[in-house]
Amino acid sequence: MSDVKIDEVPITGIPSDKRITQIKNDFFEEFGTMPQFIVKVPGRVNIIGEHIDYCGYPVLPLALEQDILIGGKPIDVQELHLRNTNKKYIKYSTKLLSFEDLDIKADETGKPYWYNYVLCGIKGAIEYLNNEIVGGLQLCIDGNIPPASGLSSSSALVSAACLSFLYAQKVYPSKTEIASLCAKSERYIGTQGGGMDQAIAFLAEKYSAQYITFDPLQAKPVSLPENAVFVVAHSLAEANKAATNDFNRRVIECRLAAKILAVSNGASLDQKIINLSQVQKNLNKSLDEMISLVDEFLCKNSYTKNEVCDMLNITEKELNDIYLTPNTKHLSEFKLRQRALHVYKEAMRVESFRKICEDNFSNGSCKNGTNGSSHTNGNSGSLEPISVLGTLMTESHESLKKLYECSHVNLDRLVDISKAMNVHSRLTGAGWGGCIVALCPKEIVDNYIETLVDKFYVQYCNIDKNEALAYVFATTPSHGAVIYK
């Protein structure tokens, strides 16, 4: 370890493994020189707390072993050269301009180019440095997080690029500072994400999930049951949240719901209320009480633009300019009630989940034993803690499917196959495709994976058994970002 501070991204010697060797070789082939450093940023799976980070509520993800690796070398000229070890990703070079001039454009179908995520991280870093940058950078990227799978490959790429750039500029922000910077930087892609993915990317610790709270950003390790594992299974439906307006639509529906709840309960329109958690704080209510307020003030299943304008006493132009994003301005209806109900109930589930873990497991062990004799707190009655955790995950999925409408038939099928084996699961990440995460008792994990392979991948998706094994895996909580040098 070098003399970096404890709250900075750790810097350690370069380990020798196959992917590191590959990246070094590719770097040499592309640039005729060796990388000076390699950064590693993990993907994540969110255990519970979906679509609530951008509403200001805590979430509970863990870092995966799959990651983005970037080999980097500073150069004298103010240029950026990007290469990927996967040759399907095209080469890209650009002059390094001021952050205001660094343009990030999607392709003609509106889908971002792979390197746009790198540019987001670099643009954010240049902005953070007030355009005071020295020289440029050569980067070679390698990733093994399946893309468009809801496992945060994009955020890991943004974060790894931002970290590489700042490190090359000899700037070492704290982990929370760079996590917040990366969350902001990723919005240059056009989606209004929260900060969960970037927070876990930097604040993760091995062997535990993290309870992440926002404003201010903090992470607290959460011990998980020792006798169960979290299994991730890909639905084979791609989920690229920057390619459609589904994600932003949910974000603005939540913002509008927050504003209407605030105004209906006495706040003035110009009071700064940006999310559902702020309304709760301002009104000094419990989550249960917020749910009653939603029932009272957001009772319709759908609101037109005019109705929203009337409730807020604003013009359509004000609604478009102040509240909507470029890709949501054309929307004509908003499901405010369903989204707000999901958020408040999901926030409650996160609290219950964390409390059960805190009360029952420490350092990966089950305090009350694992043989069915345990009793948890009031929330769980006399049930096994793991089964209560599982029920919370199942409820989360139901809510994401019905109230948030961000599931996919393939995800639902995976959840149903799991249910038939008494394994609780839910979609993880933004949804509309991507992966499920399942809480599976250790003693049946092999059987569970085999059943998913057979019933979902082979029988339903018609893919080969060996190929299928690449899409389903048991996770081990990994650590956060590292710099190797």
The correct pick among 68, 158, 430, 440 for binding ligand GLA (CB under 6 A) is 430
| Nearest distance in Å: CB 53, ligand GLA | 5
Asked if residues 197 and 152 have their Cβ atoms less than 8 Å apart, the reply is yes
Return the residue of 37, 54, 344, 471 that touches ligand GLA, per CB under 6 A: 54
Span near ligand GLA by CB under 6 A; candidates 34-42, 48-56, 409-417, 451-459: 48-56
Instruction: Report the candidate in 46, 62, 151 with the shortest Cα–Cα distance to residue 364.
Output: 62
197 binds ligand GLA (CB under 6 A): yes
The residue among 204 and 430 lying less far from ligand GLA, judged by its C-beta, is: 430
Q: Residue by residue, what is the 3-state secondary structure of 414-438?
A: HHHHHHHCCCEEEEECCCCCCEEEE
**Given its phi and psi angles, is residue 15 left (phi above 0), alpha (psi -120 to 50 degrees) or beta?**
beta
Q: Which stretch binds ligand GLA (CB under 6 A): 46-54, 124-132, 218-226, 465-473?
A: 46-54
User: Which residues does residue 440 pair with via DSSP β-bridges, in sequence order?
Assistant: 229
Residue 143 CA to residue 165 CA, distance in Å, equals 18
Residues numbered 118 to 177 that lie near ligand GLA (CB under 6 A) are: 152, 155
Pick between residue 196 and residue 388 the one whose CB is nearest to ligand GLA: 196
Minimum CB distance to ligand GLA smaller for 122 or for 430: 430
Candidate residues 42, 124, 146, 193; the one interacting with ligand GLA per rule CB under 6 A: 193
Distance between CA atoms of residues 13 and 11, nearest Å: 7
> Given its phi and psi angles, is residue 105 left (phi above 0), alpha (psi -120 to 50 degrees) or beta?
beta
Contact present, 42 and 481 (Cβ < 8 Å): yes
CB of 174 to ligand GLA, least distance (A): 20
Whose CB is nearest to ligand GLA?
Answer: 193
CB of 201 to ligand GLA, least distance (A): 11
Q: Shortest Cβ distance from residue 345 to ligand GLA (Å)? A: 14
Q: How many residues bind ligand GLA (CB under 6 A)?
A: 13
Element (H, E) at 177: helix 175-186
Contact flag: residue 53 with ligand GLA (CB under 6 A): yes
Q: Catalytic site residues?
A: 197
Cβ-contact 128, 87 below 8 angstroms: no
Instruction: Tell the smallest beta-carbon distance from residue 316 to ligand GLA (Å).
Output: 28
Q: Does 196 bind ligand GLA (CB under 6 A)?
A: yes
Of 34-42, 191-199, 365-373, 390-398, the segment contacting ligand GLA by CB under 6 A is: 191-199
Q: Smallest distance from the beta carbon of 397 to ligand GLA, in angstroms?
A: 13
Q: Does 50 bind ligand GLA (CB under 6 A)?
A: yes
* Backbone torsion region of residue 56, taken as left when φ is above 0, otherwise alpha when ψ lies between -120 and 50, otherwise beta: left
DSSP string, 209-269: EEEEETTTTEEEEE---TTEEEEEEE-S----TTSSSHHHHHHHHHHHHHHHHHHHTT--T
Which of 42, 58, 124, 429 is in the footprint of ligand GLA by CB under 6 A?
429
- By beta-carbon proximity to ligand GLA, the closer residue of 424 and 426 is 426
CB of 186: closest distance to ligand GLA in angstroms? 7
Q: Stretches 49-57, 117-125, 164-172, 279-287: which one binds ligand GLA (CB under 6 A)?
A: 49-57
Q: Is 140 helix (H, G, I), strand (E, B) or coil?
A: strand
The sign of the CA dihedral 365, 366, 368, 371 is negative
Q: Identify which range of 19-27, 32-40, 189-197, 474-482 contacts ligand GLA by CB under 6 A.
A: 189-197
Report yes or no: 199 and 217 within 8 Å, Cβ to Cβ: yes
Closest CB to ligand GLA among residues 26, 186: 186
**Angle at 186 (CA atoms; ends 5, 218), nearest 5 degrees:** 40
The residues with which 218 forms a beta bridge, in sequence order, are 213
Q: Which position has the token pair 């094994």?
A: 469
* Strand, coil or helix: 129: coil
- Token couple for 371: 């043989």
| Among 35, 58, 112, 194, contact with ligand GLA (rule: CB under 6 A) | 194
Q: 54 or 211, CB closer to ligand GLA?
A: 54
Binding span for ligand GLA by CB under 6 A among 160-168, 192-200, 461-469, 476-484: 192-200
Residues that bind ligand GLA (CB under 6 A): 46, 50-51, 53-54, 152, 155, 193-194, 196-197, 429-430
